[in-house]
Amino acid sequence: MKGIILHGGHGTRLRPLTHTGPKQLLPIANKPMSQYCVESLKDAGIVDIAIIIGGIGKDKVKEFYGDGTNFGVSFRYFEQEFPKGIAHAVNLCKEFIGNEKFVVFLGDNIIQKSIREYVSEFKLSDVSASLLLCKVPNPSSFGIAELKNEKIVKIIEKPKEPKSNLAVTGIYFLTPIIFEIIANLKPSWRNELEITDALHQMIEKNEKITYHMITDYWKDTGTPEDVLHANKEILKKIIGNSEYGGKDNSIISNNSIIGEGSIIKGNSVISSSVIIGKNCIIEDACIESYTSLGNETIVKSAKIKNSIIMENCKIEGKLTIKDSIIARNSRINSKNNNEKIFLLGEGTQITL
């Protein structure tokens, strides 16, 4: 089997974070969100992977992933010049897929459960497609599957009056039959070729489509709140390197990860479920639970909680930062006690 990862789109709901690069490279627990997709495919034995790129920062994707050698897989890149829909993106890989079954992974989807059993079952089955469904509180925001007698009878993209709360997640198990459907697909009101429309047509043609329910964690990270939530859920399960002792009077939880070359000193406190990258300096600061600090970041005298601070940032002063995402190369200096929520693009400089 082969894999396809969609790495395009404009990420408008995540601006200004996506003004300088694709949303799928935004870090969650100090790892680009699309890397979780790569690792999930590799874990399932899928190592021939196509990456669909397009829009801002497409060269950054190639620079980070290269040919796949560093990740134990092989990558091929296909460019989608304009966002014409998931089905259009999949169709770009028709020759790459050939006659094989394949898995499509939207690059901004985070799933903690292994997909190995789903891949193994799909390989041996005679079905045309298999979907992963997940109950959601806001079904109008997703492609929704309607079931009858435990069979999918309809799939509708973002229904105004949804008849179920079962979202079609961004992980699709497909066969080359899908290319025949896409060839006759008409653009939606969004002027895109919708994968949900293609799947619904397969149902109408009596193609076999099965499904599995995800009861573990799944998140479509389309908004800052989604990104922070995914960061929190992943950090909940980290296993710390408790051998790190810190310096001076610092207190460091055993369930935190401190990167190589990083220094914790003064009266610092590092809570559980925290990840700190390489070569960071934490001095007289408090890093509370569910916070990620990227490489080369400096925090002095501040308190940070439930936030993502990317690499090469510098935060100084008696301030509290919570529920925030701060992009790389940013600088914040506070001379007064403040409590702030930030959503800052790359290279931002703020003095309070």
Give the model confidence (pLDDT) of 212-230 as tens digits. 998 778 877 778 898 999 9
User: Same fold for the domain at 2-223 and the one at 251-351?
Assistant: no
- Whether 16 shows a pLDDT value over 80: the answer reads no
pLDDT-derived band at 9, boundaries 50, 70, 90: low
pLDDT of residue 11: 57
Q: What is the DSSP pairing of strand 256-258 with strand 102-106?
A: unpaired
- Whether 244 shows a pLDDT value over 70: the answer reads no
User: How far apart (Å, rounded) are the C-alpha atoms in residues 275 and 308?
Assistant: 10
Indicate the average pLDDT of the chain: 89
User: How far apart (Å, rounded) are the C-alpha atoms in residues 272 and 48?
Assistant: 37
Nearest CA-CA partner of 177 in 100, 106, 80, 86: 100
pLDDT of residue 155: 86
Residue showing tokens 């190995």: 116
Per-residue pLDDT averaged across 129-154, rounded? 88
pLDDT of residue 267: 92
More confident residue, 110 or 333: 333
Cβ pair 293, 280 in contact under 8 A: yes
pLDDT of residue 56: 74
pLDDT of residue 216: 76
CATH numeric code, 251-351: 2.160.10.10
- Whether 20 shows a pLDDT value over 80: the answer reads no
pLDDT of residue 245: 64
* CATH H-level superfamily of 2-223: Spore Coat Polysaccharide Biosynthesis Protein SpsA; Chain A (3.90.550.10)
pLDDT (tens digit per residue) in 256-276: 999 999 999 999 999 989 999
pLDDT of residue 342: 92
Predicted structure pTM score: 0.89
- Whether 12 shows a pLDDT value over 70: the answer reads no
Task: For the chain, give the percent of residues with pLDDT over 90.
Answer: 57
Instruction: Show me where the domains of the chain are located.
Output: 2-223, 251-351
pLDDT (tens digit per residue) in 28-75: 999 999 999 999 999 999 999 999 998 777 888 999 999 999 999 999
